[in-house]
Amino acid sequence: MQLNQYIDHTLLKPTATPGDIEKLCKEAVDHQFYAICVSPSYIQLAKSALEGSAVKIAAVIDFPLGAMTTKAKVFEAKDAIELGADEIDMVINIGMLRAEKIEYIENEITEIKKAIGSKVLKVIIETCFLTDAEKKVACRAALKAKADFVKTSTGFGSGGATFEDVKLMKEIAGDKMQIKASGGIKDRETAIKYIELGVSRLGTSSGIKLLTSDKK
């Protein structure tokens, strides 16, 4: 298993400096991670730092709250792609989902996917704030709106990925939509378990640790 190719090497702390992002990019190249995940303001810096490498750039949109207008999210997503992002990790409007405004959620995802075309769209549903029923509804909305991935968490909520949530998400996603687990993935054993459950991508700031800890 090439664990490195499952990893989105992530740095989204509000205190992250340009120097921190350059270090992240160097680590991603050195360890051949699939992608880095950064805030939109650092896309151009990352693009320059990753030049000549195969590492992709994922940018987060309306992160971490997901409460901006659809129009603002669409603008942010298009801007990120124009700046050089290969993938978009968007946050759904959690309040609208909990209020059962499902059409709103579906429309928002659809509009963002339309705006970014063939680029990869990952939909963060922030599982820690949802009931199991709401998680299923969110996954179905992402699937209907033709998202490429559904993603567990921002890592900024009250909890991150869990095995139970990934199993539930896989029930809905099947082989029609991929799953990204993120939030709290800090050791190799946990990472491998997620992959065995059907996860295609891991969002983590502990990517190097996952590769260098005891290999099984």
Separation between Cα atoms, residue 30 and residue 177, nearest integer Å: 29
Separation of CA 180 from chain center: 6
Of 214, 180, 212, which Cα lies nearest the Cα of 6? 180
Catalytic (active-site) positions:
89, 151, 180
124: its two tokens: 């963060």
Separation between Cα atoms, residue 146 and residue 20, nearest integer Å: 34
Of 48, 181, 17, 35, which Cα lies nearest the Cα of 120? 35
The verdict on whether omega for the bond into residue 18 sits within 30 degrees of 0, i.e. cis, is: no
Amino acid at 21: I
Q: Helix crossing, 163-173 with 188-196: angle to 10°?
A: 30
* CB neighbours of residue 115 within 10 Å: 18
